[in-house]
Amino acid sequence: MRTLRTEDAGIVDVVQHIFAKCATYLFTQSVWRHSIQKTIIRYMYV
C-alpha cells in the first residue's frame, strides 16, 4: 500500500465530498418523490 502525497489526499477528499453530496441529494430526491407519490395517491383515493 503506497503512501498518499498531500495533493492525492486533497483530491481524494474532494471526490469523497462530492460523492457524499451526490448521495445525499439522490437520497433526498427519492424520499421527496416517494412522499409526494404517497400524498397524491392519498388525495386520489379520498
Q: For position 41, what pLDDT does the model report?
A: 84
pLDDT at 46 over 90: no
For CA atoms 32, 33, 34, 40, the dihedral sign is: positive
What's this model's pTM, rounded to 2 decimal places?
0.52
- What cell does 7 get? 495533493
pLDDT digits (tens, 9 = 90+) for 1-45: 566 676 777 888 999 999 999 999 999 999 999 999 899 888 887
Residue whose C-alpha cell is 412522499: 35
- CB-side exposure of 11: number of CA atoms within 13 Å? 5
Q: Is 46 helix (H, G, I), strand (E, B) or coil?
A: coil
* Strand locations in 1-46 (E): none
Residue 4 neighbours by CB distance under 10 Å: 11
